[in-house]
């Protein structure tokens, strides 16, 4: 009888262990990052990309680099609502600069998803007049005059040399190394029950359950890559507020923006495409009560409805989201550049 009971207990404990790790796989960070066939990661490419990423000579006035708006010490963003203070000659950019953390896993880049690959993305900010304002016809000859770069390009892309394409490829290679480090939540997902607090665990359950956040913030990157109108604005939308509708006038794309990752989200404030929200609490309230505007929002997502969370529940979700922050990635910020 005793033995039978012991056996039963043993079986039961297996069942409950199973239940604990069941369904957690989809939250685990992948062990490698997607890479295009014609731009596999090599040390030379990443190293060259790192130099280009931080080099202000890629901008017209030698004032700005990619890091000006996506800085490793500022959550890979610039911590201001929209990128106006730092754009070329202080010009006003219309959108909040997103983190580039885990951009490597995304199917679409930019808030409106107007380009797909990191390679396609990289040349955009160099030429944009509100960003680095550097025409490519000037950039390539300028870089070719820097002997150190010519050498590094030859090493990284022996058959291709220094071209627009390889500038983009090298920067993209560096960006593919800017991925999440292990957060407390990751340790929890792998089975360490003590890695996060009880409050955070309850927050995670609310996040998946009552609050329906995983309708959009799903999977290891806490984004399913979908585009959504979450009702940040009501009435007729203007200009950049049209979101993906600017890429193509499809009714379903009216006012939709890409669901951002929530990894390291404590570091990348202010929030939303217009940088209009300062705290995670405020963002959570908006996302759980059916958007900032309940009515008069054309094309609002069907799942953006009031989930009737109380204050304690909102706090728990915020506590949970804080466990998605890992230690800072160890990236060497270059102090010397090729001459
Ligand atoms: C003046 C500020 C500024 C500079 C300089 C800048 N960016 Fe950005 N970046 C932004 C803004 C703002 C957006 C969002 C624009 C949008 O979605 O319309 C963005 C978007 C991105 C994205 C898309 C991320 C996502 O999740 O969709 C990537 C990747 C990126 N930038 C990389 C770079 C690289 C590489 C450089 C240097 C070649 C660079 N940026 C230079 C402000 C800047
Ligand atoms: C219908 C899909 C959807 C649901 C459901 C949803 N979100 Fe979002 N979330 C988005 C989109 C899209 C954005 C960006 C919107 C924008 O800027 O226009 C966003 C932005 C955010 C941001 C700001 C991140 C940043 O970097 O700017 C936070 C935080 C956030 N959501 C948390 C939550 C939480 C918590 C829940 C559940 C209560 C939730 N979301 C539910 C789609 C969704």
Rounded Cα distance, 245 and 240, in Å: 9
Cα distance between the two ends of the chain = 81
Which of 90, 110, 130, 271 should be mutated for ligand 1, with most atoms under 8 A from CB? 110
Which ligand ends up closest to the CA of 126?
A: 1
- Which residues line ligand 1 at a C-beta cut-off of 6 Å? 64, 66, 68-70, 83, 86-87, 93, 95, 97-98, 100, 103, 106, 109-111, 118, 121-122, 125-126, 131-132, 171
Q: If you measure from the C-alpha of residue 310 to the centroid of ligand 1, how many angstroms do you get, rounded to a whole number? A: 36
Mark 209-245 as b/e (b = at least 16 C-beta within 10 Å).
eebbbebbbbebbbbebbbbbbbbbbeebeeebbbbb
Q: If you measure from the C-alpha of residue 120 to the centroid of ligand 1, how many angstroms do you get, rounded to a whole number? A: 12
Rounded Cα distance, 324 and 331, in Å: 20
Give, for all 339 residues of the chain, the pLDDT tens digit: 445 555 555 555 444 444 345 689 999 999 999 999 999 999 999 999 999 999 999 998 898 999 999 999 999 998 888 765 445 555 556 788 999 999 999 999 999 999 999 999 999 888 887 788 899 999 999 999 999 999 999 999 999 999 999 999 999 999 999 999 999 999 999 999 999 999 999 999 999 999 999 999 999 999 999 999 999 999 999 988 999 999 999 999 999 999 999 999 999 999 999 999 999 999 999 999 999 998 999 999 999 999 999 999 999 999 999 999 999 999 999 999 999
Q: How far is CA 59 from the centre of its chain?
A: 24
Following CA atoms 180, 220, 119, 78 in sequence, which dihedral angle do they give, to the nearest 10 degrees? -50
Q: If you measure from the C-alpha of residue 264 to the centroid of ligand 1, how many angstroms do you get, rounded to a whole number? A: 17
How many other C-beta atoms can be found within 10 angstroms of the C-beta atom of residue 316? Answer: 25
Rounded Cα distance, 149 and 334, in Å: 14
Rounded Cα distance, 58 and 66, in Å: 9
Rounded Cα distance, 120 and 132, in Å: 16
Rounded Cα distance, 274 and 165, in Å: 31
CA angle 60, 65, 70 (to 5 degrees): 145
Report the candidate in 264, 312, 268, 257 with the shortest Cα–Cα distance to residue 288. Answer: 312
Q: Cis (ω within 30 of 0) for the bond into 270?
A: yes
Protein residue with its CA nearest to atom 10 in ligand 2? 259
Verify whether ligand 2 is closer than 6 Å to residue 271 (CB atom). Answer: yes
Verify whether ligand 2 is closer than 6 Å to residue 268 (CB atom). Answer: yes
Rounded Cα distance, 298 and 241, in Å: 12
């Amino acid at each position: 009888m005793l033995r039978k009971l012991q056996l039963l207990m043993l079986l039961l404990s297996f069942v409950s262990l199973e239940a604990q790790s069941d369904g957690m796989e989809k939250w685990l960070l992948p062990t490698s990052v997607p890479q295009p066939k014609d731009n596999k990661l090599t040390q030379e490419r990443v190293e060259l990309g790192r130099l280009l990423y931080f080099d202000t000579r890629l901008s017209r006035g030698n004032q700005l680099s990619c890091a000006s708006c996506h800085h490793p010490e500022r959550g890979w963003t610039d911590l201001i609502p929209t990128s106006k203070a730092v754009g070329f000659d202080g010009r006003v950019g219309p959108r909040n600069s997103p983190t580039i953390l885990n951009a490597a896993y995304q199917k679409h880049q930019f808030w409106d998803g107007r380009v797909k690959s990191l390679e396609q993305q990289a040349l955009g900010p160099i030429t944009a007049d509100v960003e680095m304002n550097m025409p490519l016809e000037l950039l390539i000859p300028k870089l070719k005059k820097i002997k150190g770069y010519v050498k590094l390009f030859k090493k990284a892309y022996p058959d291709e040399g220094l071209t627009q394409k390889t500038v983009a490829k090298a920067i993209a290679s560096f960006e593919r190394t800017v991925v999440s480090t292990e957060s407390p939540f990751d340790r929890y997902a792998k089975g360490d029950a003590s890695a996060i607090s009880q409050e955070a665990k309850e927050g995670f359950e609310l996040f998946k359950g009552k609050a329906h956040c995983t309708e959009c913030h799903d999977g290891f990157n806490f984004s399913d890559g979908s585009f959504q109108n979450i009702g940040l604005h009501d009435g007729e939308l203007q200009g950049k507020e049209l979101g993906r509708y600017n890429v193509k006038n499809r009714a379903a794309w009216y006012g939709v923006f890409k669901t951002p990752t929530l990894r390291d989200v404590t570091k990348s404030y202010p929030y939303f495409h217009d940088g209009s929200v300062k705290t995670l609490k405020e963002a959570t309230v908006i996302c759980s009560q059916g958007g900032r505007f309940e009515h008069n929002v054309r094309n609002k997502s069907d799942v953006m409805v009031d989930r009737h969370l109380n204050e304690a529940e909102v706090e728990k979700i915020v506590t949970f989201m804080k466990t998605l922050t890992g230690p800072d990635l160890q990236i060497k910020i270059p102090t010397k550049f090729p001459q």
